[in-house]
Amino acid sequence: MAGIVRSVSLLPPGARREPGGVKVVFLIYPGFQSLDLTGPLEVFSLAGGYEVETVALGGGVVRAHSGLGFAPDRAAEECAGPIDTLVVVGGEGAREAVADAALLEWVRAAAERTRRLSSVCSGAFVLAAAGLLEGRGATTHWRACGLLGEYFPGVTVHADRIFVVDGRVWTSAGVTSGIDMALAMVERDRGPETALRVARELVVFVQRPGGQAQFSAQLSASRPRHPALAELQGWIPEHLDADLSVTALAERAAMSPRHFARLFAREVGATPGAYVESVRVETARRLLESTGLPVDVIARTCGFGTPETMHRSFRRRISVTPGAYRSRFGTH
C-alpha cells in the first residue's frame, strides 16, 4: 500500500504558509489525481503571497487514485472566510464526486465567497455538476471533452485548449496543464517576473498559452481509411510551400474537388483548408522554437506567403502572435 503524505511536507520548510497572504484552497476527494494537486500547489507556494491549504470533505486521510494517501490541512467544513482561488482537482474519483450531494453543496457554498473558481482536468465535471459552468466556456482532459458537453449541454467545451478563462472561472485540461493555468494566475496576480521565477524553479515553460492545442494536428486528426487521403496526410507536411488548395489536393488524389472536400472532411474530421492551416501553424511553431530563422522566412517555408498571413493564422489557432510565441518558447 502506498504511504501517506502530509501536504505540508511537499515543499521546502517555510515555503508553504504565508499568514496574511490570499487564500488558495485545493479541494481533494477519494480517487483524485495527485499531480492535479501537487503541480499547481507548488506554483502558488513558490510564488509567495499565497496562503495555500488543502481540504477534503470530512477531513482525514484521502487516497489518490495511485493509492498514495494525503492528509489535508483541514476538513472542508472547517474552511471558513473569504477564498481567493478555489481549485477543484480531477482524477478517476470525479465519477463519484459528481454524485456526492454534500460535496457539490460545499462547492456551491464556497463559490459564493471565492473570487476565482478553477478546476484541473476532470475537476471540471465537479464544477459543472455544481452548476458553476452553466453558460460558460470550459475545457477538461481531451478524452473527456465529449462527455462534458454531452452531460452538461449548457457548457461550451473547448477541446483544443489547455486552459480556458471565462470570467472568474478557469478550467484546465489534463494533469500538467494545471501548472500552466496556475502560472497564468500567478502572472496575472503577481506579474510576469514572478511567474518566470517560479517556472525556472520548477524547470517548466513559463507558460504555454491557454489557446495552445492539447495535441498536434496529426494526432488530433482522424486517420483516413481511403489510401489517397492517407498518402496526402504524409505528403502535406513535406510540401507546405506548394499549392495546397482544394483543387490542387483533389487533383493529386485523383478526385473531383467537390468529392474530395466532402470525403476529406468526413474521414479526417476537418476541412482541407483547416487541416492545412493547422499543419502549417504546427510546423511554424517548431521552427520558431528551435531555429533563429526570421519570421518572414518561416512564413514562406510553411506556405503562409507573408508574415501577416502567418500572424492571422497564429491568432486564430493558438491565440498568440508568432513573435509572442517565439519569446516564450524560442531557444535561439
The mean per-residue pLDDT over the stretch 9-35 comes to 71
Its pTM stands at 0.65
Specify whether 302 is catalytic.
no
Q: Is the pLDDT of residue 153 over 70?
A: yes
Q: What span, in angstroms and rounded, lies between the C-alpha atoms of 184 and 209? A: 9
Q: Is the pLDDT of residue 11 over 80?
A: no
The SS3 assignment for 75 reads strand
pLDDT in tens, 167-197: 999 999 977 889 989 998 998 899 888 888 8
Sequential DSSP letters for 83-108: EEEEEE--STTHHHHTT-HHHHHHHH
pLDDT in tens, 264-281: 999 988 899 999 999 999
Residue whose cell numbers read 507536411: 237
Q: What span, in angstroms and rounded, lies between the C-alpha atoms of 111 and 132? A: 8
Catalytic-role residue among 79, 121, 145, 302: 121
Least confident of 89-93, 264-268, 288-292: 288-292
Q: Is the pLDDT of residue 257 over 80?
A: yes
